[in-house]
Structure 1
Amino acid sequence: MDSSAQLVILAGLVIGFIYGAVGLLSGFCLMSSMRGFLAEGDGRLVRSYALAIAVAIAASQVLAGSGAVDLGKSIYLQQSFSAPVLFLGGLLFGYGMVLSNGCGSRALVLLGRGNLRSFVVVIVLAIAAQMTLKGLIAPARIALVQASQTTVNTNSLPSLLAALGPSEALSRAIAAAGIVVALILFAFAHPVFRRSPGQIAAGVIVGVLVASGWFVTGYLGADDFNPVPVTSLTFIAPIADSLQYAMLSTGLTLNFGIATVAGVFAGSLATALATGRFKLEGYSSPRHMLRSGSGAALMGIGGVMAFGCSIGQGLTGVSTLALGSFVALAGILLGTTAGLRGVLRVQPLAMA
């Protein structure tokens, strides 16, 4: 393994470690954010998530605009994609996230805290994702994509604006600035959030970590002879790859995603031990385990179809301003809302 690849793996471990620590201390999670927002009138977590998106977009687009990173090499900015499959995958992922009480990244964080329910979620998610990527479910997924994919010249918001006349640089600035300002206004319009330095810090740090991932893989990992895939924080395929690596390490190679997964677990574990939050927990009943495992399977299948999770598409994909990422995120939000209303019987309250 050459030095650039080693640097990428080390950086992935560090990024994951920080995310794991922040995730444990702040409770950063889209499902928890939406449940608090809809059921309890507590908008702090959802505004922390919005702030993370804003920071991720701003920092990532600065990297792209300066030429430091070519986001066009990522999986999100493809000329051909299937909007129906992305949306359906998002729906399945969002609904499964509710059944499992958290996404894949949240499961890794809780596992580090001693939550053994999350161990089942991680394993089932990994198996279902691998089946959808390369196993029994893969032919059906590929057939759906081939039947519904379209090839477009405008695959991102900046390219859509550029088609109307502005230059590429101006279109990038307008698209990024519009979304970033709207998200920041939404976040800081909430008085309680403004008085929550921990949640503000969590949103900023997670957003910076997304941009850091792009920088690590797109700039530090750039090598004409042994290029590293340009990616950042995402957890569905990396969790699947991590399980496969644990079983077949002699025939596989470490990558940024696997290192990030290991880092998240290590960061959460270290933080839980240091703060006295480590506690072994299990399922309360077989019914609880069945629901959690079913949700993990839906997350694995849906996450592969959607090209990512609430972090992989909701933050990393959206930071590229790819149109497909907004489609997938819409599916995730709708699926999560349906799960909260249907499974957990959450009823909207007045927002505090």
Structure 2
Amino acid sequence: MENLIDRFGEAWLLAGVGCIVGILFGMAAYHSRFCLRAATVEVTQGSLGPRLVVWLIAFFAALASVQGLLLTGLVDLSAARQLSTTGSLSGAMIGGFVFGSGMILARGCVSRLLVLSASGNLRAIVTGLVVVLVAQASLSGVLAPLRERLAMSWTISGGETRNIANAVGVDAGIVTLLSTFFLIGALIWGARQKLAISQLVAAFLVGLAVCTGWFLTAKIAAASFEVIAVQSVTFTGPSTDTLMALVGSREIPLTFGFGLVVGVFLGALIFAIASGEARIQRFEPDVPMERYIFGGAMMGFGSMLAGGCAVGAGLTGGSVLAVTAWLAVLFMWIGALVTQRVLEAAVFARAKAG
């Protein structure tokens, strides 16, 4: 790794690593149809089907592989933001609920919007722009004071207290064993759901992309004399930074996040073209544009308050057992399930009245 740093420099190496991880994630997410929103809709409708299986495979693949890395001592992730800094329990709960609700209204989480954008989905592009604009306003703009007040309502200090394993008294070996067991179970369940082998593999690769991001950035951080953030796959922050750099700077900073966003778009685009699914898709008459915009705004604010999106908290933060990440994804599920129920009840009421 030292030789690569000397040859390319930290910035180019981080961007390149991010791009590689992004291509892997983009191709795998596109083919597997990985989407937290789709999984929650299945659960709401009482059908524990393929979309839920795909999400579970990706989740447990990320958890098992990352905890396996920690067990073998190949990396040290204690400096990761999800574990080392002060976290917000109130932000995780409120932000997670808001994000989950917005995800249903926008018909996709942030990662899914980026993947769909690459295939020519104009709904995803417009909604994604709303997400990043509101996220920026929540980070440092007009919505920042509200986010800060909500986040500071209930906090938890960084370090061992943010790690679930420490709280319950288990080590990485037990977590790796249990998550591997559940991963195998999810793969068997997927086979019984008649998912193609390629989709099962792709779902596994979604989780593996998270592990790869952690591993490579940790290795770069350990070998560099500069302060390098140990990080992995997340989308709201990197997408916001990329857009703000495009419109407000003459040069785009080379970071892992920038490479990740570009890589995911390229990976999804390659797979969409190869599968013949790339085509322009516009807003549908039965789902008004304002619903997507409102949902996107909720995701932008919710993800910044929760400390991550469905992938950034659900898979990446979850894989290192950050308590705030698990709490955030739990409330994303709750927000999504509640909102989907409300929408279904509204549709039923209109049909009954008509």
Taking structure 1 as the reference length, the TM-score comes to: 0.89
> 3-state DSSP class of the match of 2:82?
coil
Residue in structure 2 matched with residue 341 of structure 1 by the alignment: 341
Residue in structure 2 matched with residue 157 of structure 1 by the alignment: 164
> Within 2, Cα distance between the matches of 1:220 and 1:193?
40
Deviations 1:311-346 (A, max 9, x none): 111111110011111111111110111121112449
Deviations 1:294-321 (A, max 9, x none): 1001001000111111111111111001
Residue in structure 2 matched with residue 56 of structure 1 by the alignment: 62
Q: Return closer, same or farther for 1:281/1:194 CA change in 2, 3 Å cut-off.
A: closer
> Within 2, Cα distance between the matches of 1:223 and 1:255?
17
Find out whether 1:88 has 2:94 as its counterpart: yes
Residue in structure 1 matched with residue 135 of structure 2 by the alignment: 129
Residue in structure 1 matched with residue 18 of structure 2 by the alignment: 12
* TM alignment of 1:41-52, pairs within 5 A: 41=47, 43-52=49-58
> 3-state DSSP class of the match of 1:225?
coil
Q: Alpha-carbon deviation of 1:105?
A: 0.9
Q: Return closer, same or farther for 1:300/1:195 CA change in 2, 3 Å cut-off.
A: closer
> Within 2, Cα distance between the matches of 1:279 and 1:336?
28
Q: Return closer, same or farther for 1:78/1:345 CA change in 2, 3 Å cut-off.
A: farther
**Contact 1:110 1:118 (C-alpha < 8 Å) held by counterparts:** yes
* TM alignment of 1:164-203, pairs within 5 A: 171-189=171-189, 192-193=192-193, 196-203=196-203
> Within 1, Cα distance between the matches of 2:21 and 2:46?
32
Deviations 1:11-40 (A, max 9, x none): 211211222222222211111122234337
Taking structure 2 as the reference length, the TM-score comes to: 0.88
Whichever residue aligns with residue 93 of structure 1, its letter is F
> 3-state DSSP class of the match of 1:293?
helix
Residue in structure 2 matched with residue 32 of structure 1 by the alignment: 38
> Within 1, Cα distance between the matches of 2:304 and 2:24?
25
Q: Return closer, same or farther for 1:270/1:151 CA change in 2, 3 Å cut-off.
A: closer
Q: Alpha-carbon deviation of 1:142?
A: 1.5
* Of 53-62 and 249-258, the range deviating more from structure 2: 249-258
Residue in structure 1 matched with residue 75 of structure 2 by the alignment: 69
Q: Alpha-carbon deviation of 1:109?
A: 1.0
CA RMSD of aligned residues (A): 2.3
Q: Alpha-carbon deviation of 1:124?
A: 0.4
> Within 1, Cα distance between the matches of 2:238 and 2:87?
21
Whichever residue aligns with residue 343 of structure 1, its letter is L
Q: Alpha-carbon deviation of 1:280?
A: 0.6
> 3-state DSSP class of the match of 1:76?
helix
**Contact 1:28 1:49 (C-alpha < 8 Å) held by counterparts:** yes
Q: Return closer, same or farther for 1:66/1:291 CA change in 2, 3 Å cut-off.
A: same
Residue in structure 2 matched with residue 220 of structure 1 by the alignment: 220
Whichever residue aligns with residue 245 of structure 2, its letter is Y
Q: Alpha-carbon deviation of 1:267?
A: 1.4
Residue in structure 2 matched with residue 284 of structure 1 by the alignment: 284
Whichever residue aligns with residue 128 of structure 1, its letter is V
Deviations 1:279-300 (A, max 9, x none): 1111134961100011001001
> Within 2, Cα distance between the matches of 1:255 and 1:286?
40
Deviations 1:236-266 (A, max 9, x none): 1111111112113336512111211111111
> 3-state DSSP class of the match of 1:69?
coil
**Contact 1:8 1:221 (C-alpha < 8 Å) held by counterparts:** no
> 3-state DSSP class of the match of 2:62?
helix
> Within 2, Cα distance between the matches of 1:74 and 1:109?
26
Find out whether 1:111 has 2:140 as its counterpart: no
Find out whether 1:272 has 2:279 as its counterpart: no
Find out whether 1:140 has 2:160 as its counterpart: no
Q: Return closer, same or farther for 1:179/1:287 CA change in 2, 3 Å cut-off.
A: closer
Find out whether 1:248 has 2:248 as its counterpart: yes
